[in-house]
Structure 1
Amino acid sequence: MQTLSTPLTSPVASRYSTDGTIHRRKTRPVAVGDVTIGGSNPVVVQSMINEDTLDIAGSVAGIRRLHEIGCEIVRVTVPSMAHAIALAEIKHKLIATYRPVPLVADVHHNGMKIALEVAKHVDKVRINPGLYVFEKPKSDRTEYTDSEFGDIGDKIRETLEPLVVSLRNQGKAMRIGVNHGSLAERMLFTYGDTPEGMVESALEFIHICESLNFHNLVISMKASRVPVMLAAYRLMAERMDALGMEYPLHLGVTEAGDGEYGRIKSTAGIATLLAEGLGDTIRVSLTEAPEKEIPVCYSILQALGLRKTMVEYVACPSCGRTLFNLEEVLHKVRDATNHLTGLDIAVMGCIVNGPGEMADADYGYVGKQAGYISLYRGREEIKRVPEANGVEELINLIKTDGRWVDP
């Protein structure tokens, strides 16, 4: 039986950070327009418009809406050559009426010609290995011979090479985006519907890119089931580490749904991996307006301490010791200060845990005696004020420190 003095030396225990910080996996920087994924750069937030790319005005407006609320890279779907050509006009109008926005084009079934056209107009092309060279499954197939497997591999290289060369010569990027639900038939026959099959599918495309001296790659291993998604990304990272590859990872749970559960499901997958140090860019996929995805992304990154995009509020859950209506006061404090990005503000109901739990906050608002509020700067109590004046006096304290800005 393990005692408290037994050192934690097992391989599982040693994988995790125990110093209170997240140690991100080392990755190579990959530029996508004026945004860089990987390296020492912050985790990048992405989303995807739901307008038809043939609707040029609608697409420009959708891209702009996302970018203005903090989406750093925007993806558009390109199912046909007409859509690819439309992207040239979309990019032109964005620059003319707004500014350049890093764009990614989604290319699917047998997409070489489409990809070659769209590569002229976007900063990154996303391909799905299971669909890029699409083979209609044979209902009577029982196996793939080595020869058949190799022949398809040769066809993939032949089809992928022109796109790789184009992106390489233009200094642009590619996302190799594997989806659990669309693995190629030969991968399913060889590895089953498994994370291993997903990883092998990605590696096949990575090796082709590397053989052509192209390394501006981002990898994703999405699944709609969180445990499968977690396993696929972890295995991908392990395999890349073993092969000396440092490609950044794009995290996401595909088809997460909508509402509270869609947000929880996405957070369960994305935040778990980020906490383990995996992930350089994220997208929360919701069956809602794309604009609804961005706040979830930033909340995940804020909660993990990976980006500071809003005020961090520390608040106790309330109990019988609480000396004021904690929920009501928290709303008042938030309404008055939520524009002060970068600050940590604690709202604590009593003195028992308050000062200790809020020790890392910039400012504290604590119920220390009935009818009065104690205001703190860090660990130092500054003054005690009547409860009715608490929020006003907190604002005055922030102003005194020169940290207030008008909303």
Structure 2
Amino acid sequence: MQTIEQPIAPREDKLFDTTIHRRQTRAVKVGSVTIGGNNPVVVQSMINEDTLDIDGSVAGIRRLHEIGCEIVRVTVPSMAHARALAEIKQKLADTYQPVPLVADVHHNGMKIALEVAKHVDKVRINPGLYVFEKPKGDRTEYSQTEFEEIGAKIKETLEPLVISLRDQGKAMRIGVNHGSLAERMLFTYGDTPEGMVESALEFIRICESLDFKNLIISLKASRVPVMLSAYRLMVKKMDELGMSYPLHLGVTEAGDGEYGRIKSTAGIGTLLAEGIGDTIRVSLTEAPEKEIPVCYSILQALGLRKTMVEYVACPSCGRTLFNLEEVLHKVREATKHLTGLDIAVMGCIVNGPGEMADADYGYVGRQPGFISLYRGREEIRKVPEAEGVEQLIQLIKDDGKWVDP
């Protein structure tokens, strides 16, 4: 997918500044993609094929990558799944192209993680599950000694993976989930954003003690207020500690349909607008390919990536001189394959030219049966409504901005 990438503007303390000033973070390479630094926000998703299905997994990864997913995650619940990644990676290279891959490792997965680290560009671990603590039904607290003993065990099991990734120049995502905090974190901090942040910091400190900083951090929750609080607290703590790791944003288990999209946008979009976040994944209970348009729509709406036409359209009123919904649909269908343009469809001449002033092209109701076509603020021609879409396309072609679908 062709994109026009928006550079990060320098910070300016100006009232009414409309630029999003992204938090400066470390640049972390994941295969051919770099997360953080001055790079655009990266789009991710995850295939739902069983990784043992080599052909199915390759097809799923390719489908996602072809529509703009820049990093693809797979799950590796066993050693057999981890070894299958070698075949998947090779088949992608032979039949398509290399794609940055991330492996998800859970539940005492040190051996699995060490194997899969040979074949992928990033390993994602969940601190609440990487060293599983068997709950004790009669426990009322963790002593400091018990807390530290488990911490030492975590370091012992994590160290080989950290060294492997460090020596290969690969990356790790420390992916905390609100719903799977370790028991001792729950007893110590409660089921809170603070517990999520402390869980991440424990793993970060282990990595730093081994001189490994190719880290991406996530603190996902299924409830938007918890997710927002966790990420904001993480930024505050990292700033205090002199850390600048890039953040992977997401609302986990957002569901499906309109509400799943709104919920994801509420969480991801809010943080991005605050300058927080370097890579995103929208988690929908739908085919993974449905997640990518939502990611790009969020980024486009905030002006962080421009990957499609931006359509400006009035909501319609009594002054509207044509079927606005129908015409907008026709204009969108004719031009949706283009990149980097702003096109306005406005119902009347009263407010239309002023409200669409920032658009590259405008389609405005002039009088019954006729519309005016604009280039920026300049009215170019008046044409019969029946020829409006065709003439709009011709105007774009005249300006050399048209490409065939």
TM-score above 0.5: yes
Name the structure 1 match of 2:216: 218
Q: Percent identity?
A: 87
C-alpha separation between the residues in 2 aligned to 1:401 and 1:56?
Answer: 47
Q: Does the 8 A contact of 1:346 with 1:365 survive in 2?
A: yes
Name the structure 2 match of 1:155: 153
Q: Does the 8 A contact of 1:16 with 1:276 survive in 2?
A: no
C-alpha separation between the residues in 1 aligned to 2:330 and 2:53?
Answer: 43
Q: Does the 8 A contact of 1:179 with 1:221 survive in 2?
A: yes
Name the structure 2 match of 1:324: 322
Name the structure 1 match of 2:143: 145
The residue identity in structure 1 corresponding to 2:361 is: Y
Aligned residue for 2:401, secondary structure, equals coil
Name the structure 2 match of 1:253: 251
Cα deviation, residue 15, structure 1: 11
Cα deviation, residue 17, structure 1: 7.9
43, 68, 89: which one pairs with 1:45?
43
Cα deviation, residue 369, structure 1: 2.0
Cα deviation, residue 386, structure 1: 1.6
C-alpha separation between the residues in 1 aligned to 2:230 and 2:404?
Answer: 46
Name the structure 1 match of 2:383: 385
Name the CA shift for 1:134/1:28 in 2 (closer, same or farther; >3 Å): same
C-alpha separation between the residues in 2 aligned to 1:284 and 1:266?
Answer: 6
Name the CA shift for 1:149/1:17 in 2 (closer, same or farther; >3 Å): farther
Cα deviation, residue 110, structure 1: 0.6
Name the structure 2 match of 1:269: 267
Q: Does the 8 A contact of 1:17 with 1:23 survive in 2?
A: no
Structure-1-length-normalised TM-score? 0.95
Q: Does the 8 A contact of 1:346 with 1:358 survive in 2?
A: yes
Structure-2-length-normalised TM-score? 0.95
Cα deviation, residue 335, structure 1: 1.4
* Residue pairs, 1:184-333, within 5 angstroms: 184-333=182-331
Name the CA shift for 1:101/1:145 in 2 (closer, same or farther; >3 Å): same
Name the structure 1 match of 2:9: none
C-alpha separation between the residues in 1 aligned to 2:350 and 2:50?
Answer: 57
Name the CA shift for 1:128/1:17 in 2 (closer, same or farther; >3 Å): farther
Aligned residue for 1:27, secondary structure, equals coil
Matched, 1:90 2:97: no
C-alpha separation between the residues in 2 aligned to 1:90 and 1:231?
Answer: 38
Q: Does the 8 A contact of 1:24 with 1:278 survive in 2?
A: yes
Q: Does the 8 A contact of 1:350 with 1:366 survive in 2?
A: yes
Q: Does the 8 A contact of 1:175 with 1:220 survive in 2?
A: yes
Q: Deviations along 1:32-79, whole A, 9 cap, x unmatched? A: 000011111111110001111111111111111111111110000011
The residue identity in structure 2 corresponding to 1:397 is: L
C-alpha separation between the residues in 1 aligned to 2:70 and 2:365?
Answer: 41
The residue identity in structure 2 corresponding to 1:358 is: M
392, 395, 401: which one pairs with 1:403?
401
Cα deviation, residue 16, structure 1: 11
Cα deviation, residue 343, structure 1: 0.6
Q: CA RMSD in A?
A: 1.3
Cα deviation, residue 174, structure 1: 0.2
Name the structure 2 match of 1:11: none
Q: Deviations along 1:345-381, whole A, 9 cap, x unmatched? A: 0000012221121111100111122222111111111
The residue identity in structure 2 corresponding to 1:376 is: Y
Matched, 1:166 2:196: no
Give the gaps of 5 or more residues in structure 1. 1-13
C-alpha separation between the residues in 1 aligned to 2:222 and 2:16?
Answer: 30
C-alpha separation between the residues in 2 aligned to 1:343 and 1:209?
Answer: 44
C-alpha separation between the residues in 1 aligned to 2:257 and 2:14?
Answer: 31
Aligned residue for 2:334, secondary structure, equals helix
Cα deviation, residue 18, structure 1: 3.2
C-alpha separation between the residues in 2 aligned to 1:59 and 1:203?
Answer: 33
Aligned residue for 1:356, secondary structure, equals helix
Q: Does the 8 A contact of 1:43 with 1:282 survive in 2?
A: yes
Higher mean C-alpha deviation, range 378-387 or range 269-278: 378-387
Matched, 1:135 2:129: no
C-alpha separation between the residues in 2 aligned to 1:161 and 1:311?
Answer: 47
Aligned residue for 1:310, secondary structure, equals coil
C-alpha separation between the residues in 1 aligned to 2:247 and 2:359?
Answer: 32
Cα deviation, residue 389, structure 1: 1.5
Name the structure 2 match of 1:74: 72
Cα deviation, residue 397, structure 1: 1.1
Name the CA shift for 1:226/1:17 in 2 (closer, same or farther; >3 Å): farther
Instruction: Report which structure shows greater RCO (CA 8 Å, sep ≥6).
Output: 2
Name the CA shift for 1:186/1:174 in 2 (closer, same or farther; >3 Å): same
